[in-house]
């Protein structure tokens, strides 16, 4: 209970102001210091991009690199016709150092094609035709040299084994007989070129270590191939999602009440069908051999379709969908009365969008700006990560004091390192550098990530404030649309950029700092995965949870602060305080009404994603005979399905985010309306008659003269 004269805990309610007619047009610039800081940081970001583009070389990511640091298959170079990387002795890749340095201690050179037959240098040297073929896998300068001289100089490999190209690298063509015996080129043994007959299984360790870094690339290449085969069908699926979203929004404009209930029933039916389908798959796998293997025993598989042949996978789907179904039904039962109020608010939002139809297309502008931000960050990150110089190190087979030390290939043959370690070689190891630029490269990457978060949050904030200003002008207009600006969206966008760039930068900066802390926590957690310190794990888990909650809270505060900035033109901190106190004075309405509305809009997104997702599943999986000959042949049919589902959600979210922002803005205006006005003739409520009826309030008629 508040004592007499004591200031209310959450501030004074808004008082009646006869001059207030909605968003204030006579306003000044806010948070100027943060605006200047943001502009300086953007200029620095551009400078980092220019520096990265001048130093970086994306070819290091695209092409494999030979022992001299040259790119295999690069257009416009002598190696243009040699796109494949060949290892002189793949068995040396079995060294544990490969896992640490990601580099095989053997000569690597670019070749036109991989060897396709067994051959040793000793036997090939005696046959002119064989030696001509063998030279394709040797360095230059063989004329007049004996076999011993060639091998001691490291100009040729001692042997060739049948190989196949894999991610632009030549690996032995390993196979397996029925008894489990490993073969290479259909032979279980091979001549290593040094007079030894070895088992084909000796090649396995080398191949395994050599592919430790590129196994993920195999999956990536298959996924890329799937995209090339299905991209037009994915676009069709996304267009369907856009049309359904647009149709849903248009229907909400005229049939909000009916559409909400239809949407609720459809979501329940879609989830129910999902449970039924998963149950049928679960039952059908009962008699299939190996289907009772647990996910834990199966482990991680690059072929994700394997999981769909495990009963436990479908059981997990059934449990998840059933839980979601029960939660939705329980929420509908206990919140049925509040849903009616939420429907009235959605109807009012539909009316507002009807007057500001251009708002539906504003997400396209936000999407275009976010695409620019993401593209700039990604390109800069690639150029920064590839702006290192080639580093060469000493690799040897016997003990050597200079092992793994940096060397120069140009004069290595005459250096003291070569004299002390005759069998050593100076090979390309990795990309790095010792200059000031290279020393601070990690700092530039961090700056790139931080500015990415800041710019992305700024673009999102700009969209929120622009929409809030447009919808607030609708709510506070006494006569609609006469008292509204001719172009509400453009008018609000101009005000936001002209006066409140600093406020937008301030709010997005706070959010970006929290997000970058979360990224650092995830990085630390990843680095400490092998540790057994339970106290450290618990502390990290608590910190991650706290900062996740803090990020959600800041997003909530920012969103409402931008609405208040759009209406009153005050600075960010004052607006955030006013919005927070206004919401706290109406805590019950916020906790129930606003969140129920968000829940209904979420169900709308879920319905669109569910409908498009089910269609995509039956099309790409070939489960429907009508689509068997039409659907593309894919490695992983879940790739286009997931792409369509995620894309559909983003598209639906784009359309429904306009509705959500409209509802939030109208809700805040509605709370202010209740505090400013009392329904009398002098202070009438500005909310619609529909909202007045739902809230059991009414405007009193003017007294008769």
Which pLDDT tens digit goes with each residue over 309-346? Answer: 777 788 888 899 899 889 888 877 877 777 777 777 77
In a domain, 48, yes or no: no
Q: Which domain holds residue 114?
A: 61-174
Quick: pLDDT tens for 594-615: 677 777 778 788 888 888 888 8
The pLDDT, as a whole number, for residue 654 is 79
In a domain, 22, yes or no: no
With a cut of 70, which residues of the chain have pLDDT below it?
A: 1-22, 24, 59-62, 92-105, 167, 174-221, 224, 287, 289-291, 293, 295-305, 388-390, 397-398, 428-438, 529-532, 588-589, 591-594, 622-629, 694-696, 701-705
In a domain, 682, yes or no: yes
Give the total number of structural domains in the chain: 3
The reply to whether 417 and 448 lie within a common domain is no
Residue 204, both tokens: 């396995």
Residues 686, 692: Cα–Cα separation, whole Å? 9
In a domain, 667, yes or no: yes
The reply to whether 280 and 361 lie within a common domain is yes
Task: State the residue for tokens 């969908």.
Answer: 321
Task: Give the β-pairing of 189-191 and 197-199.
Answer: antiparallel
In a domain, 598, yes or no: yes
The pLDDT, as a whole number, for residue 194 is 54
Residues 650/637, Cβ–Cβ less than 8 Å: no
What are the backbone angles phi and psi of residue 452, rounded to the nearest 5°? -60, -50
Alpha-carbon dihedral of residues 470, 476, 479, 483, nearest 10 degrees? -50
C-alpha separations of 505 from 32, 364, 514, 594, 617 in Å = 10, 21, 14, 27, 42
Regarding pTM above 0.95, the answer is: no
The reply to whether 115 and 260 lie within a common domain is no
In a domain, 323, yes or no: yes
The reply to whether 262 and 361 lie within a common domain is yes
The pLDDT, as a whole number, for residue 546 is 92
The reply to whether 633 and 654 lie within a common domain is yes
The pLDDT, as a whole number, for residue 127 is 83
Final residue belonging to a domain, choices 174, 199, 227: 174
The reply to whether 121 and 256 lie within a common domain is no
With a CB cutoff of 8 Å and minimum separation 6, the contacts of 395 are 105, 106, 403, 404, 424, 425, 426, 427
Residue 435, both tokens: 């200059």
Residues 137/109, Cβ–Cβ less than 8 Å: yes
In a domain, 265, yes or no: yes
Residues 118/130, Cβ–Cβ less than 8 Å: no
The pLDDT, as a whole number, for residue 467 is 92
Nearest to 509 by CA among 466, 560, 566, 573: 573
Which stretches does DSSP call E strand in 374-442? 389-395, 425-432
Residues 267, 273: Cα–Cα separation, whole Å? 10
In a domain, 123, yes or no: yes
Q: Using DSSP, how many helices (H) and how many strands (E) does the chain show?
A: 23, 12
3-state per-residue secondary structure call for 71-124: ECCCCCCCCCCCCEEEECCHHHHHCCHHHHHCCCCCCEEEECCCCCCCEEHHHH
Residues 157/115, Cβ–Cβ less than 8 Å: no
The reply to whether 620 and 647 lie within a common domain is yes
The reply to whether 406 and 555 lie within a common domain is no
Task: State the residue for tokens 């109020």.
Answer: 341
The reply to whether 166 and 271 lie within a common domain is no
With a CB cutoff of 8 Å and minimum separation 6, the contacts of 422 are none
Residue 269, both tokens: 């039916």
The reply to whether 370 and 418 lie within a common domain is no
The reply to whether 254 and 324 lie within a common domain is yes
The reply to whether 508 and 644 lie within a common domain is yes
Residues 704, 699: Cα–Cα separation, whole Å? 15
The pLDDT, as a whole number, for residue 254 is 74
Residue 597, both tokens: 């509305």
């Amino acid at each position: 209970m508040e004592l007499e004269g004591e200031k209310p805990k959450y501030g004074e309610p808004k008082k009646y102001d006869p001059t207030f007619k909605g968003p204030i047009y006579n306003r000044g610039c806010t948070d100027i210091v943060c605006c200047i800081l943001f502009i300086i940081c953007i200029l620095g970001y551009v400078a980092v991009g220019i520096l990265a583009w001048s130093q970086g070389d994306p070819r290091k990511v695209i092409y494999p690199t030979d022992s001299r640091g040259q790119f295999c298959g690069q257009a416009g170079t002598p190696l243009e016709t040699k796109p494949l990387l060949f290892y002189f002795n793949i068995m040396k890749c079995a060294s544990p150092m490969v896992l640490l340095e990601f580099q095989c201690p053997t000569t690597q050179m670019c070749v036109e094609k991989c060897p396709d037959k067994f051959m040793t240098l000793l036997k090939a040297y005696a046959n002119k035709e064989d030696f001509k073929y063998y030279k394709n896998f040797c360095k230059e300068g063989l004329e007049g040299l004996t076999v011993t001289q060639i091998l001691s100089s490291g100009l040729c490999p001692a042997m060739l084994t049948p190989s196949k190209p894999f991610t632009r690298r030549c690996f032995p063509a390993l196979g397996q007989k029925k008894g489990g015996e490993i073969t290479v080129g259909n032979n279980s043994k091979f001549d290593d070129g040094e007079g030894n007959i070895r088992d084909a299984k000796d090649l396995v360790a080398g191949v395994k270590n050599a592919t430790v870094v590129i196994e993920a690339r195999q999956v990536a290449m298959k996924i890329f191939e799937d995209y090339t085969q299905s991209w037009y069908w994915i676009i069709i699926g996304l267009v369907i999602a856009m049309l359904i979203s647009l149709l849903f929004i248009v229907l909400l404009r005229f049939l909000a009440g009916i559409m909400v209930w239809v949407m609720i029933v459809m979501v329940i039916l879609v989830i129910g069908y999902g449970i039924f389908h998963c149950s049928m798959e679960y039952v059908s796998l009962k008699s299939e051999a190996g289907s009772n293997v647990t996910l834990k025993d199966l482990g991680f598989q690059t072929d994700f379709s394997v999981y769909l042949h495990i009963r436990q996978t479908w059981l997990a789907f059934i449990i998840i969908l059933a839980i979601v179904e029960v939660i939705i039904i329980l929420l509908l039962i206990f919140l049925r009365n509040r849903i009616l109020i939420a429907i009235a608010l959605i109807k009012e939002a539909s009316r507002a969008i009807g007057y500001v139809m251009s708002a539906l297309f504003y997400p396209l502008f936000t999407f275009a700006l976010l695409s620019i931000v993401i593209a700039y960050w990604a390109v800069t990150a690639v150029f920064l990560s590839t702006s290192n110089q080639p580093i060469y190190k000493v690799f040897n087979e016997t003990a050597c004091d200079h092992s793994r030390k940096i060397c120069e290939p140009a004069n290595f043959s005459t250096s003291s390192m070569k004299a002390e370690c005759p069998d050593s070689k100076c090979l390309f190891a990795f990309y790095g550098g010792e200059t000031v630029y290279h020393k601070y490269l990690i700092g530039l990457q961090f700056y790139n990530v931080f500015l990415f978060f800041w710019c992305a949050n700024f673009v999102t904030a700009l969209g929120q404030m622009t929409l809030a200003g447009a919808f607030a002008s609708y709510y506070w207009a006494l006569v609609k649309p006469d008292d509204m600006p001719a172009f509400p969206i453009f008018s609000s966008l101009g005000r936001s950029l002209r006066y409140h760039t600093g406020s937008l930068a301030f709010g997005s900066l706070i959010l970006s700092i929290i997000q970058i802390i979360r990224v650092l926590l995830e990085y630390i957690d990843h680095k400490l995965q092998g540790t057994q310190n339970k106290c450290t794990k618990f502390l990290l888990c608590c910190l991650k949870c706290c900062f996740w909650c803090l990020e959600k809270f800041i997003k909530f505060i920012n969103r409402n602060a931008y609405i208040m900035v759009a209406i009153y033109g005050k600075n960010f901190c004052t607006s955030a305080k006013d919005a927070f106190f206004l919401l706290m004075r109406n805590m019950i309405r916020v906790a129930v009404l606003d969140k129920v509305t968000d829940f209904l809009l979420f169900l709308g997104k879920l319905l669109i994603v569910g409908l498009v997702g089910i269609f995509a599943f039956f099309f790409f999986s070939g489960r429907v005979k009508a689509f068997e000959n039409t659907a593309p042949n894919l490695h992983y049919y879940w790739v286009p399905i997931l792409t369509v589902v995620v894309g559909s959600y983003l598209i639906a979210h784009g359309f429904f985010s306009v509705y959500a922002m409209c509802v939030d803005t109208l809700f805040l205006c509605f709370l202010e309306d209740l505090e400013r006005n009392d329904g009398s003739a002098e202070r009438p409520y500005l909310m619609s008659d529909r909202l007045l009826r739902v809230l059991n309030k009414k405007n009193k008629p003017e007294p008769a003269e």
